[in-house]
Each structure stands twice: as structure tokens, then as C-alpha cells.
Amino acid sequence: MAERIIPNAAALTGWRKSSYSSGDGGSCVEVLDGHPSGVPIRDSKVPCGPALVFPAADWSSFVTAVKDGEFPA
């Protein structure tokens, strides 16, 4: 089974903030592309904290659902 939690996300480089993040440096979700186990996601407020790793297909489905408005505010 692929790794599902990375205990210290700061050990990885190349994180990018969500395209929906504001430029004011506030809290946000960060994503790491190209990881062999899937798509790691972390909280930008806690860069040394854990990252959750989702299968790429599941993450893609989630992003599509968000863009399609399936999770109203």
C-alpha cells in the first residue's frame, strides 16, 4: 500500500499554493506535484506538520467537483 501520510512535509520541496489563495500570505492548502505515491496536500500554516497523500485520480476528481460548484459555501 502506498504511503498515505508524510509526517514532516517540510522534508519535501516544490510545494505550491492553491490557485485560489490570496496574495496576502494567509492560510491555504499547498500541493506537491510529481510525488510517486500520489498528491501530497499540507496546511501552509504548519509546513513542518504532516501531509496527507491522495491517489492522483481521487485528487483530480475532488478538484473537478470543486470547480463545478459541487461544494457550495
Q: What is the pLDDT of residues 11-58, one digit of tens each?
A: 999 999 877 666 666 678 899 999 999 999 999 889 999 999 999 999
Model pTM score = 0.82
Burial of 6 by CB count in 10 Å (0-12 exposed, 13-18 middle, 19+ buried)?
A: buried
- How do the domains of the chain map onto residue ranges? 5-19+27-67
Please name the residue that has the C-alpha cell 485560489. Answer: 20
β-strand partners of 19: none
Residue 1 has pLDDT above 70, yes or no: no
